[in-house]
C-alpha cells in the first residue's frame, strides 16, 4: 500500500487569519505580528509581554491605593483617638454618677423604711394615748357632775338650818326638791307631780330668773346617766291648758322668756301637748323647755320659800 501523504500540521489560532497591515516609514507594509516574529511563537511572546505590563500597572495601582489607604487610616486613627478618649471619660463619669445615684436611692429606701416603722410606732402610741385621754375625759365629766351635786348639797347644808326641809336644796332664796334624788324609779304625770309638790307644802317650780334657769339646767344634767332620752325630762310648773299657745305658770304669771324654749316648742301643733317640761341640752343649755303630753310619766321639780 502506498504511503498516504502526511497531513501538514497546523497550529490552531483564534486570531483572524487576515493580519492587520503595519505601515512603516520606509513605505513597506508588514503584518503587526511580524514585529514579534512570525507564527505562534511571536504571538506567545506578545501575550506574555502584555501580561507583564498589566502586572506592573496593577502593582503600581496597588501600591498607590495602599499608600492612600494607610494615609487615610492614619489620619482617621489620629482624629478618632481624642474622640474615643473623650467618650471613655464620659462613660466613666456616667458610670460614677450611676453608682452614686444607686447608693442615693438605696439610702432613700432605707430612710423611708425607718420613717415608716417610726410612723407605725407613733400611730400605736397615739391610739394608746387617745384611749387614755378618753378615759380621763370620762372621769373628768363624772367628777364635774359629782362636783355640781356636792355644791348643791353644800348650799343646802349652809342654808337649810331652819330654812329648807330635809332632802331639799337651797338656791337663790328658794328651796328645791328634785324627785329623782329621792327615787330614781318613781315618775308621775304633770297633775300627779304637782299634787306631790302640794302635799309637801310647795308647788311645781316657776323659773323666772336666768340664774334659776342655769341652776335647774345644771342640776338636771346629772339625770342623764343611765336613762333614755325622754327620761331626762322634768316637769315644771307651766301649762297652756286655759288658752292654746299662752303658757301660764302655776303662780298665774304668763311666760315671757321665749329664749328658754326649744325652737318651735311654744307653738303647739298637737292638742295633747299642753304641759311644760325641761330637758338638758349640752349643745344649747339655754334652750331646754318643751311642751309634752300631760299624761306622760316624768320626774319633777318642786319649789317653795324657805321657812
pLDDT in tens, 130-186: 989 888 888 888 788 778 777 766 655 555 455 888 889 888 889 999 998 887 778
* Tally of CB atoms within 10 A around 5: 6
Residue 19: helix, strand or coil by DSSP?
Answer: coil
pLDDT grade for 35, boundaries at 50, 70 and 90: very low
pLDDT in tens, 232-243: 789 999 999 888
Residue 28: helix, strand or coil by DSSP?
Answer: coil
DSSP 294: T
The sign of the CA dihedral 28, 29, 32, 33 is negative
103 vs 59 pLDDT, higher one: 103
CA within 13 Å, CB half, 19: 14
pLDDT in tens, 249-306: 999 999 887 888 888 776 655 567 889 999 887 777 788 888 999 999 999 999 999 8
Q: Per the structure block, which three cell numbers stand in for 153?
A: 348639797
Instruction: Print burial letters for 102-128: b (CB count within 10 Å at least 16), e (below 16).
Output: eeeeeeeeeeeeeeeeeeeeeeeeeee
- Closest C-alpha among 239, 284, 295, 291 to residue 264: 291
pLDDT of 204 higher than 90:
yes
Whole-number pLDDT of residue 294: 93
CA-based angle 50:55:60, to the nearest 5?
125
pLDDT in tens, 48-83: 777 777 777 877 777 667 666 666 556 655 556 677
Q: How far apart are CA 143 and CA 267, in angstroms?
A: 38
Whole-number pLDDT of residue 176: 94
Q: How far apart are CA 288 and CA 291, in angstroms?
A: 10
Domains and CATH numbers, the chain: 169-304 (3.10.100.10)
Q: How far apart are CA 174 and CA 229, in angstroms?
A: 28
pLDDT grade for 1, boundaries at 50, 70 and 90: very low
pLDDT of 202 higher than 50:
yes
* Tally of CB atoms within 10 A around 293: 15
Q: How far apart are CA 176 and CA 278, in angstroms?
A: 15
State the distance between the two ends of the chain, measured CA to CA, in whole angstroms.
196
Amino acid at each position: 500500500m502506498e504511503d498516504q501523504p502526511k497531513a501538514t500540521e497546523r497550529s490552531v489560532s483564534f486570531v483572524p487569519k487576515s493580519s492587520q497591515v503595519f505601515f512603516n516609514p520606509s513605505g513597506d507594509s508588514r503584518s503587526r505580528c511580524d514585529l514579534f516574529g512570525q507564527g505562534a511563537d511571536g504571538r506567545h511572546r506578545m501575550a506574555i509581554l502584555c501580561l507583564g505590563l498589566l502586572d506592573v500597572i496593577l502593582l503600581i495601582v496597588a501600591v498607590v491605593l495602599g499608600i492612600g489607604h494607610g494615609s487615610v487610616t492614619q489620619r482617621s486613627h489620629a482624629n478618632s483617638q481624642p474622640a474615643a478618649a473623650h467618650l471613655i471619660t464620659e462613660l466613666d463619669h456616667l458610670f460614677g454618677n450611676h453608682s452614686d445615684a444607686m447608693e442615693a436611692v438605696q439610702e432613700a429606701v432605707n430612710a423611708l423604711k425607718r420613717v415608716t416603722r417610726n410612723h407605725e410606732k407613733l400611730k400605736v402610741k397615739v391610739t394608746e394615748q387617745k384611749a387614755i385621754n378618753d378615759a380621763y375625759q370620762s372621769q373628768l365629766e363624772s367628777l364635774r357632775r359629782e362636783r355640781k351635786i356636792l355644791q348643791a348639797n353644800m348650799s343646802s347644808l349652809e342654808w337649810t338650818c331652819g330654812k329648807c326641809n330635809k332632802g331639799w336644796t337651797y338656791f337663790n332664796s328658794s328651796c328645791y326638791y328634785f324627785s329623782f334624788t329621792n327615787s330614781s324609779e318613781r315618775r308621775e304625770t304633770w297633775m300627779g307631780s304637782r299634787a306631790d309638790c302640794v302635799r309637801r307644802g310647795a308647788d311645781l317650780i316657776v323659773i323666772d330668773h336666768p340664774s334659776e334657769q342655769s341652776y335647774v339646767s345644771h342640776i338636771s344634767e346629772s339625770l342623764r346617766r343611765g336613762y333614755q332620752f325622754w327620761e331626762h325630762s322634768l316637769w315644771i310648773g307651766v301649762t297652756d291648758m286655759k288658752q292654746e299657745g299662752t303658757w301660764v305658770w302655776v303662780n298665774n304669771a304668763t311666760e315671757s322668756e321665749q329664749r328658754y324654749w326649744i325652737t318651735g316648742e311654744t307653738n303647739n301643733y298637737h292638742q295633747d301637748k299642753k304641759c311644760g317640761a325641761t330637758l338638758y341640752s349640752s349643745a344649747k343649755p339655754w334652750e331646754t323647755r318643751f311642751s309634752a303630753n300631760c299624761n306622760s310619766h316624768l320626774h319633777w321639780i318642786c319649789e317653795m320659800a324657805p321657812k
